[in-house]
Amino acid sequence: MKPFKTIYITVFLIVGLFFVASPVYGAPGKRSADDLGKRVYLKQCAHCHGMQGEGVVGVNENPLYGNKKLPELIQVIVETMPEGKPNACKGDNAIAVGRYIFETFYTPEARAKQKPSRIELARLTNRQYKQTVGDIFTAFLGKPQLNEERGIHATYYDTRGFGKQVGQEVVGSIDYDFDKQLPHEKISKKEEFSIRWQGGIIAEESGVYEFIVKSPNSIRLYINDREQRLIDKYVATKDREAEHSASIYLQGGLPYFLKLETFRFKDPTASMSLMWVPPGGARQIIPKRSFYPTTIGTSIVVQTPFPPDDSASGYERGIAISAEWDEAVTNAAIEVAQQVLPLMDQMARTKSSDTDRIQKLRAFCLSFVEYAFRRPLTSQQQAIYVDSFFSNELNVSDSVKRVIISTLKSPLFLYPELSRNPDSPDVDSHLIASRLALALWDSVPDTALRNAAERGELLDPVKVEQQIKRMLNNSRARSKLDYFLLHWLQLNEKGEFSKDETHYAEFTDDIRADLRQSLRLLFQNIVWSDTSDYRQLFQTTQIPLNQNLAQFYGINDFDGPDFQPTVVSEHATAGVLTHPYLLSMLAYRDNSSPIHRGVFITRRLLGRTLKEPPQATELGSADFPDGLTIREKVTRLTEPTACAGCHSIINPLGFSLENFDAIGRYRNQEVGKAINAVANYNTVDGKTVELSGASGIAELIASSPQAHGAFVDHLFHQAIKQPINAYGESLREDLITKFQSSEFNIRQLLTSIVREAVLFEQKHE
């Protein structure tokens, strides 16, 4: 089976972009369907579900797609269809229409026969764009090599003008009340002193960080820029509760320059707190683990906002083109050029007084374009993208600026698949290097990968696998897998969540922030362990806790300030399923939520599809007698026939976690009644399984081939950004089989995914 290439004209960006497409299930053909089933469907179903199950705007927009087996689908039709008239379609009619739906469009396989999945030409996603730009310039500026030291360096002065230094030290956080205690014993005058904190701030994940300085005194905060202040309030407000905030995008896994200055001069009060709200997290005092005591250099970081990527397939894809996106790309290119100009001599290893400065800057520009285009330039490309901008008529700064803008606007940068040898459209080592870097790092090839491409080694599958294993040891691979976790467990979708202060007053922002970090560390510890065992995500009995969390959950024998593996309780032994952050996220403000938890497990962990509810009914708005448990309320709420089809799947999964309250603490009773966490769950293949609490769900997910397939799908789509079915009939099943035979090694699964995807076109030429 050979992929085919089609030339598309995209007036918006470029003439001559091509698609690489791949039929999956052979030539599209029309499957024979029972005439009775088709007649019944057209008469009773099509007006709601569309001619091909695609849905009907304003009536039922949810596609009639799913993964039920045929007998299960027929049973659902009998019990729930047509809408509002259950049992109107039964017997031979139900069997016939069920088979017609199943074989025509219900399953992915059926839809693939109608419209095969294909590998589409895709631009860089927003994350890939920002990661790529940052990494290109890191190659010239250098990447700081951090040691294990953490904290921020503080220097104290006995005057308001940073003149007379009296002491220095490394501190764990910036949170002071100077009216109660002076910052340093050698400061002689309480009413006059100044402090400078300087070093690095470590971004744990990519995204927008809001920095908040709370102080009545004069302040200046610098992040990743030694000249431009992120927050500048150098006139004291004298208001003890005064807060100043600003936001900045930072790339995960990297440290950035930080400097905070303040002084007091006869102010009536003095204090200082430095806080942040990290991506998807809660407001908190910046912890010691996020500070670095050594001064860090400047990085190039794109701040331009982009419109959201297309996520209709359940993962971000760079397939949407709009005027807003083109404007963002233009603005980003200009912004990057402006950031580069003050640093261009540093990156070109030259000085303004050097006689060969222009030649060195020209060489820097050539190297920059080759990094961005992911391969050596042809003489024609060099003439267009570099030489044409270095003329006697232009100032050298303008030359550099124009090179950067034209390069970052070029389709050869924005569309990685265009990184082909213009003299030959065939796959070569440079294209494979580009695919590897994008799949594992969301970025461009590093020096080692570029050298391997130059030697032509990457046409050899063995060499490709060696590079994958090397690349997995890079912090960028850890960052991408961490990003996968955030998407897979939907940790960024709800963001900050709050609880009823009457019942959970101690569930503070700091607790939420630490719990989120704990869940991320749990995932990282398992993925990067020797076994990298997926099953441990649901079977580990310990989660990372720090002193703050240990105290909150009543663990008395905790020792040390850092996160360390700890048993929360003898009942919370199901890894991420019983992690307090996930349980809290999937809960109401004042109680558990079996529906939220059940839907999450159904869709994200078990990979089963659910149709949208016929009507949105909030538990809190329903009228119930007093004394009912949340399980009893949900059972009553979902009894109607229109709800029963999906909730027969959702409810048992949610009920099995009922021993855990709205903040993930174990409980035995609710409203004076014993918790019932036992439920019968119907599997995809029609079996009924008794789930006894969280351990029952954990065992189900760890052993379910469907759950294994769902995990494979999620990881493939996050790595490759293309539909898995576009890579041939057997790839998905092969990956599941290899995953199972590897003892569910997550890193080995990622290796298999990337190897097969990047070499797919080469194998099928």
Please tell me the predicted confidence (pLDDT) of residue 13.
35
317 in any annotated domain: yes
pLDDT on residue 167 = 94
Does some domain include residue 156? yes
The pLDDT value recorded for residue 612 is 62
- pLDDT, tens digit, 9 for 90 and up, residues 302-336: 999 999 999 878 899 999 899 999 999 999 999 99
Mean pLDDT value of segment 384-413: 94
Specify the range with the lowest mean pLDDT, choosing from 8-12, 155-159, 242-246, 414-418: 8-12
Selection from 177-181, 344-348, 512-516 with the highest mean pLDDT: 344-348
% of the chain beyond a pLDDT of 90:
66
Nearest to 702 by CA among 577, 603, 598: 577
Strand partners for 594: none
What are the pLDDT digits (tens) for 557-570?
Answer: 888 888 999 999 99
List the domain range (segments joined by +) for residue 237: 152-292
- Are residues 86 and 163 both part of a single domain? no
The number of beta carbons lying within 10 Å of the beta carbon of residue 241 is 9
The angle subtended at Cα 411 by Cα 409 and Cα 417, nearest 5°, is: 140
CATH of the domain at 162: 2.60.120.1560
Q: How far is CA 430 from the centre of its chain?
A: 27
Last residue of a domain, which of 662, 682, 703?
703
Domain count, the chain: 5
pLDDT tens readout for residues 344-369: 999 999 999 999 999 999 999 999 99
Domain boundary among 447, 473, 499: 473
What local confidence, expressed as pLDDT, does residue 622 receive?
Answer: 67
Beta strands in 68-159 (DSSP E): 152-157
Please tell me the distance from the alpha carbon of residue 209 to that of residue 247, in angstroms, as a whole number. 5
* Residue keyed to tokens 């905070």: 260
CA 709 – CA 706 distance, rounded (Å): 5
Cα 550 to Cα 131: distance, rounded to the nearest angstrom: 36
Domain boundary among 266, 292, 318: 292
pLDDT class of 8 with cuts at 50, 70, 90: very low
500 and 620 Cβ atoms separated by less than 8 Å: no
**With contact defined as beta carbons under 8 Å apart, do 696 and 690 qualify?**
yes
One domain for residues 329 and 254: no
CB 31 within 8 A of CB 103: yes
Judged by average pLDDT, the poorest of 241-245, 495-499, 607-611 is 495-499
Q: Is there a single domain that holds both residue 265 and residue 328? A: no
Q: How far apart are CA 594 and CA 588, in angstroms?
A: 10
Residues 170 and 98 in one domain: no
* C-alpha to C-alpha distance for 415 and 370, rounded to whole angstroms: 14
If DSSP states are collapsed to H, E and C, what string results for 195-261? EEEEEEEECCCCEEEEEEEECCCEEEEEECCCCCCCEEECCCCCCCCCEEEEEEEECCCCEEEEEEE
SS3 345: helix
In a domain, 5, yes or no: no
Candidates 135, 128, 132, 126; CA nearest to 254 is 135
pLDDT value at residue 24: 30
Domain match, 107 and 156 both? no
The reply to whether 464 falls in a domain is: yes
Question: Which residue is it, tokens 């910046």?
Answer: 286
Mean pLDDT of 8-36: 37
Residue 381 host element (H or E): helix 379-385
Written as one letter, the residue type at 296 is: I
- Judgement on whether residues 659 and 531 belong to the same structural domain of the protein: yes
Give residue 591's pLDDT. 93
**Residue-level pLDDT at 25:** 26
Which helix (H) or strand (E) segment holds residue 141: the answer is helix 126-141
| pLDDT score at 743 | 97
**Predicted local confidence at residue 6, as pLDDT:** 33
Q: What is the pLDDT of residue 650?
A: 92
Q: Do 468 and 497 fall within a single domain? A: no
pLDDT digits (tens, 9 = 90+) for 534-551: 999 999 999 999 999 999
Q: Decide if pLDDT at 142 tops 50.
A: yes
Q: Would you state the pLDDT for residue 495?
A: 54
Whether 639 and 748 map to the same domain: the answer is no
Same domain (yes/no): 655, 604: yes
Query: What pairs with residue 285 in β-bridges?
Result: 275
The answer to whether position 158 is within a domain reads: yes
**Structure confidence at residue 765 (pLDDT):** 58
Model confidence at 93, pLDDT cuts 50, 70, 90, reads confident
Tokens, residue 279? 């991506």
The SS3 of residue 692 is: strand
When mean pLDDT is compared across 76-85, 481-490, 631-640, the lowest value belongs to 76-85
Average of per-residue pLDDT across 740-746: 97
Is residue 609 assigned to a domain?
yes
- Please determine, for residue 740, whether its predicted confidence score (pLDDT) is greater than 80: yes
Q: Residue 614: which pLDDT band, with cuts at 50, 70 and 90?
A: low
CA separation for the pair 190, 372 (Å, rounded)? 54
- Tell me which residue has tokens 């918790």: 675
Kindly state the average pLDDT of the residues 246-254.
Answer: 94
Angle, helices 461-472 vs 746-758, to 10°: value is 140
- Percent of the chain at pLDDT above 70? 92
CA dist 448 to 184, 331, 347, 421, 455, Å?
48, 32, 20, 20, 11
Interaxial angle between packed helices 705-720 and 693-703, expressed in degrees from 0 to 180 and rounded to the nearest 10: 70
Q: What is the mean pLDDT of residues 157-186?
A: 91
Looking up residue 52, the CATH number of its domain turns out to be 1.10.760.10
Task: Let me know if residue 401 belongs to a domain.
Answer: yes
Same domain, 314 and 245: no
Tens digit of pLDDT for each residue in 363-373?
A: 999 999 999 99
Average pLDDT over residues 487-515: 86
- Asked if residue 147 is part of any domain, the answer here is no
pLDDT at residue 493 tops 90: no
Give yes or no for residue 7 having a pLDDT over 80. no
Q: Is the domain of 258 the same as that of 369?
A: no
Cα–Cα dist 222/198, whole Å = 9
What's the confidence (pLDDT) of residue 182?
87
- What is the structure's pLDDT at 313? 83
What is the C-alpha to C-alpha distance for residues 481 and 284, in angstroms, rounded to an integer? 25
Shared-domain flag, residues 699 and 711: no
745 pLDDT above the threshold of 50: yes
Kindly report the backbone phi and psi dihedral angles of residue 145, in degrees, each rounded to the nearest multiple of 5, phi listed first. Answer: -95, 105
Say how far apart CA 611 and CA 643 lie, in whole Å. Answer: 10
Q: What is the pLDDT of residue 617?
A: 57
**Residue 19 banded pLDDT, cuts 50, 70, 90:** very low
Residue 5 pLDDT class (50, 70, 90 cuts): very low
pLDDT at 20 exceeding the cut of 70: no
